Amino acid sequence: MRTRWKTHAILARLQAELDELQRADQFRKVGAVEGINLCSNDYLGLSDDPRLKLALTSAIERQGERVCSTGSRLLSGNSSQWEMLEAKAASFVGAEAAVCFSSGYLANIGVLTSLLGPETTVFSDAANHASIIDGIRLSRANKVIFPHGDLQFLEEMLRASNDTRERFIVVESVFSMDGDLAPIEDLYVLAARYDAGLIVDEAHATGVMGPNGRGIVAQSGRPDCVIATIHTCGKALASTGAFVACAETTRRYIVNKARSFIFSTALPPFAAEQISEALSIVAGEDERRRHLRLLSEYLRVELNSRGFDTSRSESHIVPVVLGSNDTALSVAQSLIDRGFGVKAIRPPTVPAGTARLRLSLTSRLRFDDLATLVRALCDAR
């Protein structure tokens, strides 16, 4: 039997705010995605891969294997599986060391709150993910938000901030809402010129971009140009959790200082085995990466030639910018009615007036699916 809550002024206030969201077409609902899925982060289609299932079941069935970590990594939650995974993750990216977190959100919170502080200034791209924004807020660093991708503005701000504070620049390597890539080589130059530490969130690049899916920083061949890269394991790696790749000193510092690492129960050891297997699998999936790249290029060409705005997309994330919230909602609904699983992305996730469909492609899709999608979009607008 469920308890019905008594009326309370606080609940009335919550309801009033929800009504306001509804009026502004910003109300969000949890719901199942049906049809051809165009909002999944399962970029390489590994979420039902038999090799990953086998890695999981054999880890669980192995004698003596725990199904729960039993504590924080600094208490009883550590296990050899996590240590082996961290060594493997570091060499996957080409870094000196790696440290695992229970999610990408917690990794960003942990890295930013531990490395930054009131005595530092952070330069953050305006399109950075909510987990980066929250990490910066919690760090209480002095912050400068630069317009998305505007390195000229960034340089002016770096030049103007000629105080003695330590400086950091934080970007995503594949931006989650626009699907464009960070100009990584130019960022290395700026970071070196102004003696700033670069932090790069590779959430949407891990498994997909760079040689063997090792990410944009690995592709540049200069992992030592960054202070840390953040890699989520719940997207192309079809697993869970995240790892941060960095210098050994930074790893030790994070283990000692990052509260989201210290004060949170570690994921179970079988999760480490799944992620480890996923790293081996993605390294050999060039064909899926190639198919995904060709799909993305095809979709952009087809949409652009019909006048759709795909923003700056140059990856498997292809936004279709539609403008107002109600247009985005009605186009999304008509695509759903035609069998596509899409979501309208609205402010505050994206800037006001740029509500969009965010199409995230996976290697499971076929060119035919995208041709049908383009026709459906033309009919819906």
Ligand X SMILES: Cc1ncc(COP(=O)(O)O)c(C=O)c1O
Contact pattern for ligand X over residues 297 through 336, marking x by CB under 6 A: ----------------------------------------
Contact pattern for ligand X over residues 190 through 219, marking x by CB under 6 A: -----------x-x----------------
Task: Check residue 104 for interaction with ligand X (CB under 6 A).
Answer: yes
Reply yes or no on whether 49 is catalytic.
Answer: no
**SS3 of residue 227 by DSSP:** coil
Single residue of 81, 232, 310, 315 touching ligand X by CB under 6 A: 232
**Which of 231, 235, 291, 316 does the annotation list as catalytic?**
235
Reply yes or no on whether 235 is catalytic.
Answer: yes
Applying CB under 6 A, the span of 98-106, 277-285, 325-333, 349-357 interacting with ligand X comes to: 98-106
Reply yes or no on whether 172 is catalytic.
Answer: yes
**Which of 69, 103, 129, 276 does the annotation list as catalytic?**
129
Single residue of 207, 234, 269, 319 touching ligand X by CB under 6 A: 234
Angle at which helix 248-257 crosses helix 104-115, to 10 degrees, equals 100
Of 173-192, binders to ligand X (CB under 6 A) are 176
Nearest Cα neighbor of 35 from 267, 380, 376, 335 is 335
Q: Residue 261 and residue 74: Cα distance in Å, rounded?
A: 9
Reply yes or no on whether 204 is catalytic.
Answer: yes
Minimum CB distance to ligand X smaller for 243 or for 270: 243
**SS3 of residue 65 by DSSP:** coil
Please name the residue that has the structure tokens 């505007």.
Answer: 150
Nearest Cα neighbor of 245 from 87, 54, 136 is 87
Reply yes or no on whether 41 is catalytic.
Answer: yes
Angle at which helix 367-380 crosses helix 286-304, to 10 degrees, equals 30
Reply yes or no on whether 176 is catalytic.
Answer: yes
Q: Residue 46 and residue 48: Cα distance in Å, rounded?
A: 6
Reply yes or no on whether 53 is catalytic.
Answer: no
Question: Residue 361 burial by CB count (10 A; 0-12/13-18/19+): exposed, middle or buried?
Answer: buried
Minimum CB distance to ligand X smaller for 105 or for 270: 105
- Min. distance of Cβ 275 from ligand X in angstroms? 12
Minimum CB distance to ligand X smaller for 292 or for 377: 292
Task: Check residue 172 for interaction with ligand X (CB under 6 A).
Answer: yes
For residue 202, what are its two tokens?
């590779």
Helices assigned H by DSSP within 284-324: 286-304
**All residues at 6 or more sequence positions from 155 whose CB lies less than 8 Å from its CB, including other chains:** 190, 194
Contact residues toward ligand X (CB under 6 A) are: 103-105, 108, 129, 131, 172, 176, 201, 203, 232, 234, 242
- Show which residues are catalytic: 41, 129, 172, 176, 201, 204, 235
